Amino acid sequence: MPSSSTPSRPSTPTLTTIPTISLSTPHPLLLKQLRHALLTTGFLYLTDYASAVPELPALVAQLVGSLPRLFALPDEEKERISLDHSPHFLGYSGVGSEVTARRRDEREQFEFASELEAVWKEGEASYLKLLGPNQVRIC
């Protein structure tokens, strides 16, 4: 007689630690670790970036130093650079504009990415819309 057991579901990974990846790891292993972390966890900590990218600490310091001025912009200016005005999902989102676990987030944020040229054209893959310029330059 055939078994009437219910098929088992794939197990969901349980996060107990955030993956930490050193940029000093040899390239093939680094790519494997990055892929695993991003596909299973969705985020990670990077270490040893100062030795891998010597100019990065100064850039980060410049960015952090610019943040108070950016968040102090008048509401009208923040609205002008809202995510709503960018097909690339880059710009400002205000307090309560995003929802996490069915609750409005009590934070405001600016989304930045590498400065890229907009390349999407009608009929092309939608993900290409993500490639494009930031709405504001702070560094």
Phi then psi dihedrals of residue 134, to 5 deg: -75, 155
Residue, of 20 and 11, whose pLDDT is higher: 20
Tell me, yes or no, whether 84 lies in a domain: yes
Q: For residue 73, how many other CB atoms are within 10 A of its CB?
A: 15
Q: How many domains does the chain have?
A: 2
Whether 50 and 86 map to the same domain: the answer is no
Whether 84 and 96 map to the same domain: the answer is yes
Full residue range of the structural domain in which residue 35 is found: 17-54
> CA–CA separation, 66 vs 50, rounded Å?
20
Is residue 5 scored above 60 in pLDDT? no
pLDDT digits (tens, 9 = 90+) for 24-63: 999 999 999 999 998 888 889 999 988 888 888 898 899 8
Name the burial class of residue 91, with classes exposed (0-12), middle (13-18) and buried (19+) by CB atoms within 10 angstroms of its CB. buried
Whether 137 and 92 map to the same domain: the answer is yes
> Max CA-CA distance within the chain?
73
Whether 24 and 77 map to the same domain: the answer is no
Q: Which of 6, 28, 54 is the last residue of a domain?
A: 54
